[in-house]
Structures are given as C-alpha cells and as structure tokens.
Chain A
Amino acid sequence: MADVIIDVQKLTKKFGSFTAVDNISFDVREGEIFGFLGPNGAGKTTTIKMICTILPQTVGNIQVNGFDTQRQQKEVRRSVGIIFQDPSLDNNLTVRENLYFHSRLYHIPGREIPGKIDSALELVGMGERKKDLVRILSGGMKRRVEIARGILHAPKILFLDEPTIGLDPQTRKHMWEYVLQLKARENMTMFLTTHYMEEAEYCDRIAVIDHGKIIALDTPANLKRLVQGDLVTLVMRDSVRAAKILREKTEYKPVVENSQLQFYIKESRDRIPLLFKLLGDEILELDVKKTSLDDVFIHLTGRKIREEEASSKSSAHERMKYRARMTRKI
C-alpha cells in the first residue's frame, strides 16, 4: 500500500449551530485519485478548505504531506495545488500574468518562471493564448488555465473542487483527458470533489459524503457491490418456465411480467454466459443495466444525488453565502 499523504482524523467544522462537517476520518494515499462524492452542501468544499488551511477546523487533526494544517500552514500550502469550484483567475490580467503572479506567490525562482509557464500552458493546450486577457476566454479555456496554474509549482497533491461544473460535456471530457495525462506523467495525487457520478468513476477510491458525514469509502467497484447488482431483463419465449429454471439452478430471484423476466446479478459480465447455457435459444432479448454510482448513492441515502440539484445551483450558492455570513459572526 502506498504512503498516506493526507491524514484526516475526527474532523468537525461547525458554523454556529450548523455542523457542516461531522467527525470524519479518512486518508488519501500517494498517487491515487481520491474522490469526494456527494450532493451540494454535503460538506465537500468545507473539508477541502480545511485541508488547504484556509478554514480552521472546529475539532480534529489534518496532516498533509506530513505537515499539520494548523501549525505548519506554509508547508502545507506549498504542497498543494487547488482548482477551485468557482473561477478564481484575475480577469483583468492576461493568462501569462495570472501564471506569473502565481509563480511569484509560490516563490519559484525568476529564471525558471517563463519555462514553467510555457510547459504548463502547453499541457492544457493554451500556449497560443498566453497574451490574451482572461476576461475574453470561454469558461472551458479559463478552466484549462486554472489547471495550468494549479500544477505550476509542482504540488504533491492537486485538489479539484467540482472541476467540471458549468462546462459542456465535450469540454468536460477534454478536461479529464488533461487531468489523467497529468496524473500519468507526474504521478500527482489528486483529490476530487464532484456530484457527477460519471466523474467519480475515474477515482481509485471514493468517499460518499452526505450531511457532513462519510457514509461509505471504497473503490468504485466495491461500492457497486453494496447494491443488489446489475439489473438483467430477459424477454423469453416462455417466461414462466425460464423463471422456474433460474430459481432451481441459480440463486437469482426473477420476477415475471408477461414475457419479461427481471432480476439482479452481481458482476453480470461473468454470469451472462451462464444464462445462455441454462436458457439457450429461449432468450429473445437480453438487456443489462449496469450498476451506477447513482444506485449506490440511492442505496446508501435513500435518495438521488441530483434531487437537491433541482433546487438549482443558486440555492446552494445562497446556502454558502449564508454560511459565510455565519462564519463572520463567530
């Protein structure tokens, strides 16, 4: 097992009487993509802010790259790069200037700065736009510049807080290409938060977080094993007879509806051949719905992750603002 690079112990954050993060413990291992999956307002960003030292925790300990986030803030800050949920570039500066100031803030020696800026921009395919003011770039381009900026000082850990929020599917796909390429090249540890199930699939391990608590933490494959399995639908010549065969010869519990049979199988890929062996040319149609992390989330919390999204991003934003006000009062 790889070395632990982030160690979080019994972490709690309260804003007034509201508990945003509720006694969570977990670790992140060097070189992995670790994901926080949960709905808006679950406590993902708050946790990241604490790990990155910009928000003090109410209770608990955090070690990042061997440094304590409260007592060794500068060392922690030097070890991490962050791509924030909301845009954080200076619109009135050019792409190059944004990266230049970042380099300065991270104490990169002056003569190394131009080379680092060029190679970082090259990686995200933004080399041509160096002299453009950030304000004229599209949302996707800004995101790419932010990635370039995040990796400029070669951090040990790169945080991606909802990195693809507000991007169209194609840009989102490209962004992931850059991120995965980066990970392969630099063996950088990645810490991702998302409420997109598809993105969570990229992770080596996922912590499912809801109402400030971690309710599950495992690999995507293992998390999927928590639920009943993949949903198999068969259309049969004689569904009743087929159901009988299945009940006798397998542990599946098929439900018959007219000519249709439905049942759950774990790891369907390995088991489908068995179905053909048992039922052979009786099968007219076969459909398998793979378990998604959506199913896992429903299984764990009893509701869909996107339900809260229906109340729109703005309300989540409002909540954050409210919390921000609460923080100020303390």
Chain B
Amino acid sequence: MIAVIPETLTIAHRELIRGVRERSRLLGSLVRPFIWLFLLGTGLRAVAGGALPPGVENYQHYIFPGMIVMNILFSSIMAGTSVIWDREFGFLKEILVAPVSRTSIALGKTIGGASMAVFHSAITFVFIPFLGIPVDWMKLLLVLPCMYLVAFAVTSLGMLIACRMRSFEGFGIMNNFVIMPMFFLSGAMYSVAAAPDWLKVIIGINPVNYGVDLVRSVFLGIAPSHPLWLDITVLAGFALALQAVVIVLFRKESG
C-alpha cells in the first residue's frame, strides 16, 4: 500500500516533463487571459463596471481571479488528453502491465495534470503589475493551495471524461460542452448576486463557481459569496467523488 506514493510520484513526474515540453500550452496560458482581460475586459468594464461588490475598484480586478480559474479549467480538462494520447500511442499499455496499482496511475495522472494546471494559471500573475491590482506575496502564497484544490477537482473531471472517450475528436466536442458552460456559469465574469434565480440554481451546482469564489475572496481579500468552508467542502467532495470513479475506470482499462 505504501508503494502507492512513489508510484504516484513517478507517474506525476512524467506528466510534468511532458507538460513542460509542450510550449504551445504555455503560450496559450499567456494569450488566453490576455484576450479576456484586455480585449474583452476593457470593453466590458464600461458596461459591467457598475455592479461590483464592495472592496473592488475596477472590473478587470474583479475578473482577474476568474482568469486564474479559467486557465486552470482549460489546462486541467486538457490534462485528460494525456490519457487518450497514451492509449492511442501505446504508452498506456506500458503503464498498465507494470506492477503499479490503478490507484497510483489515476492519482499520479491527476496530480501531474493538476500541478501543470496550477503552473499554467500562475502564469497569469505576470499581468498583475499591468492592472495595478494591490496584492502582497503572502496572499499569492495563500491563493496557491486554493488554486491546487480547484485544479485537482477539475483535472479529475478531465480524467473521467478521457477514460470514457476513445478519440481526440470526441474529447474536443465534450470540452465545448464542459469548459465553456462551466466557465460562463462560474461567476468569473459577473457577480452571481445580479443573476436571475433560475440561473442562480444552475450556478449553484457548478463546482467551478465555488472555485472562483474561493480564489477571488482569498486573492482580492473580499467577502466570499458562500462561506469559505462550503467552497472548500464542495471542491474537495467533487474531487474525491470523481477521483474514485476514475480509479474504478482505470481498473477496467486494458489499453
């Protein structure tokens, strides 16, 4: 049982090496928030800037934590492609015939993918000085574990989808149905308080919403819309439940 730890780290280590070598995803993590923050954010600022919660100066500051979560969302879901990739190119078999437990494979892939996602979203920090967001280093250090929690939860979802998918095309289509709605219904771009009731219900069942709330309140130092313990519990519960399913699916995997 104790072997799970080194095994998990080995699998995660490989994901990290692969992740770092994929420069295009790194570039994407830089360009994506740039587009939203400056090209879209500047325009929307005039329209949505009025309904900001107390303690937030401008709209770009308000959506910035949303950008952090958006990068996590993209990177984490994409981490699932590594499973499809491995299956398609045969490496999955190499892992499956090795004397490692399926739990290690699932956890290792998720931890590796989540770590890459945190790295990709931390890239967003380079925009902080340009926006003049008042943050100190302590706050950044505090927000990292929150980001990791969100990343772990969403990567588990990405793994779950990938385990059920046989092709990259299918995965791409699934992504559109998952990433975009999850992002738009997360409260990243607008305050949930202003949304109509029926939308609030949908937003309420979206785990990413709790992620945005958590990251935003820690990052901007403002009051969260849910209690923080609820944010953390929902994310952790979501992560554990999906991870359990992923482990079961890996047990059935035959390459």
Q: How far is the CB of B56 from chain A (nearest CB, A)?
A: 42
Q: State whether the Cβ of B226 lies closer than 8 Å to any Cβ in chain A.
A: no
- Do A88 and B7 touch (CB < 8 A)? no
A54-B93, A102-B94, A327-B254 known; A74-B18 Cβ under 8 A? no
Q: Contacting B21 at CB < 8 Å: which of A52, A78, A89, A92? A: A92
- Do A80 and B97 touch (CB < 8 A)? yes
Q: How far is the CB of B10 from chain A (nearest CB, A)?
A: 4
- Do B7 and A105 touch (CB < 8 A)? yes
**Total CB contacts across the A-B interface at under 8 A:** 73
Closest residue of chain A to B10 (Cβ to Cβ) is A104
Chain B 1-31: CB-based contact to A (< 8 A → 1; otherwise 0): 0010011001001100110011000000000
Chain A 220-247: CB-based contact to B (< 8 A → 1; otherwise 0): 0000000000000000000000000000
A54-B255, A77-B98, A325-B166 known; A89-B6 Cβ under 8 A? no
CA distance A52 to B99 in the complex (A): 11
CA distance A325 to B6 in the complex (A): 33
- Do A102 and B98 touch (CB < 8 A)? yes
A87-B90, A88-B93 known; A105-B254 Cβ under 8 A? no
CA distance A93 to B17 in the complex (A): 8
Chain A 65-93: CB-based contact to B (< 8 A → 1; otherwise 0): 00000000111011010101011111111
Closest residue of chain B to A328 (Cβ to Cβ) is B166
Residues from chain A with Cβ under 8 Å of B10 in the complex: 101, 104-105
Q: Which of A28-68 contact B (CB under 8 A)?
A: 49, 52-55
- Do B100 and A105 touch (CB < 8 A)? yes
- Do A90 and B93 touch (CB < 8 A)? no
- Do B90 and A106 touch (CB < 8 A)? no
Q: State whether the Cβ of A97 lies closer than 8 Å to any Cβ in chain B.
A: yes
A54-B254, A104-B10, A325-B166 known; A86-B97 Cβ under 8 A? no
- Do A105 and B98 touch (CB < 8 A)? yes
Residues from chain B with Cβ under 8 Å of A278 in the complex: none
Q: Contacting A82 at CB < 8 Å: which of B6, B14, B97, B166? A: B97
Q: How far is the CB of B209 from chain A (nearest CB, A)?
A: 32
Residues from chain A with Cβ under 8 Å of B17 in the complex: 92-93, 97
Q: State whether the Cβ of A317 lies closer than 8 Å to any Cβ in chain B.
A: no
Residues from chain B with Cβ under 8 Å of A106 in the complex: 98-99
- Do B97 and A90 touch (CB < 8 A)? no
- Do B90 and A88 touch (CB < 8 A)? yes
Chain A 298-325: CB-based contact to B (< 8 A → 1; otherwise 0): 0000000000000000000000000011
B residues adjacent to A (C-beta < 8 A): 3, 6-7, 10, 13-14, 17-18, 21-22, 89-91, 93-101, 166, 254-255
Q: What are 21 pairs between A and B in contact, CB < 8 Å?
A: A49-B254, A54-B93, A74-B101, A77-B97, A78-B99, A84-B90, A84-B93, A88-B91, A89-B90, A89-B94, A90-B14, A90-B18, A90-B89, A92-B18, A101-B13, A102-B94, A102-B98, A105-B7, A149-B94, A324-B166, A325-B166
Q: A54-B254, A327-B254 are in contact. List 13 more A-B contacts (CB 8 A).
A: A52-B97, A55-B254, A82-B93, A86-B90, A90-B18, A90-B91, A93-B14, A97-B17, A102-B94, A104-B10, A105-B94, A107-B3, A149-B94
